[in-house]
Structure formats: structure tokens, C-alpha cells
Amino acid sequence: MPTEPSLLVIAAINTLAWPMIQLGLAWAFTRMPDHWFVRDAMTKPCPCENRFLNRVMHVKRWKDRLPDAASWFAGGFAKAKLTGSDPEYLRRFIRETRRGELCHWCAIACVGFFLPWNPWWADLVIATYAIAANLPCILVQRYNRGRLSTLLARSEAKAWIGRK
């Protein structure tokens, strides 16, 4: 008859598994082809979304405090600063916000991995952690994508007018 693992063992597994999951997902997502993130209607920003994210969630105040793990891996795209304004760079940045958002949604979905060995109350702790650690990153990706989409539209309009 198998014995239940102690709370110390469960805590150790949970503590070690989360960084492995987060870093593993970040690494895997940097390896995914760019064309997977070109267009996604589900993540297309709504014009009112940035107003909500800025006025209600105050994303602009705290977004710069979050880490950007993509730059830790070869092939990752640093999203901490906007370093260009040409349309191709902005399109790439927008793709990378989609990549980052999906990576964080997948991390939240990994909560199910912990359910088999955790007691119900630890499942709540794990779920709370997953949301608290990933939802701010998702909000920042969506906020930045809205702003970048506006910049891209302006940049493309200038380029189009310049051709006339």
C-alpha cells in the first residue's frame, strides 16, 4: 500500500516544478516558428481594452517591474524596451507579445499537472500562484500589443502617404 508523501515533499516538488515549467515553456516558445504568431483573432486588441488596462488595472505604472525571460534564451526577443519604429520591427514585436501571452496562458494551464499529488488546499495555493505570477504578464502583453498596433498603423500610414 503506497504512502502519502509528506507536506515537505509536496512543497519541495511544487517549489522545484514551477520554475522548471515556467523556464521550460519560455525556452520552448522561443523555439516556435514566428509564423505561428502572425495573426490571432483571439488576441487582437480591442480599442477599449487599453483604456481599461491603463485606467482600471494601471498597467503603465507597474509593467516595467516584470521580468522578461525571453531575452534569457538564444533566439528570444527582448520586450522590455521599444528599440525601433519601422513597421517590420513593430510587426515582430506584436508577434512576440502574442508568443509571450500564449506562453503565460499555457503556464496557467499547467496547474492541472499539480492536482494529482496535492491536497485540495494546496491546489488552491498552486492555482493562486499560477494566476498571480502569469496574469500580470498577460495583461502587459495585451497592453503593449494595443499600443504597438496603434504605432504600427501610424507608421504604415506615414509610409503609404510618403509613396504618394
pLDDT (tens digit, 0 to 9) for every residue of the chain, 164 residues total? 566 778 888 889 999 999 999 999 999 999 999 999 987 554 456 767 877 887 888 888 888 888 887 778 877 788 878 888 888 999 999 999 999 999 999 999 999 999 988 899 999 999 999 999 999 999 999 988 988 988 888 887 776 676 65
Q: How far apart are the C-alpha atoms of 17 and 37, rounded to whole Å?
A: 27
Is residue 20 within 8 Å of residue 114, measured between CB atoms? no
- Phi, psi at 42, each rounded to 5°: -70, -25
Q: What is the pTM of this model?
A: 0.84
- CA distances for 84 relative to 6, 17, 87, 117, 151, angstroms: 52, 37, 9, 47, 11
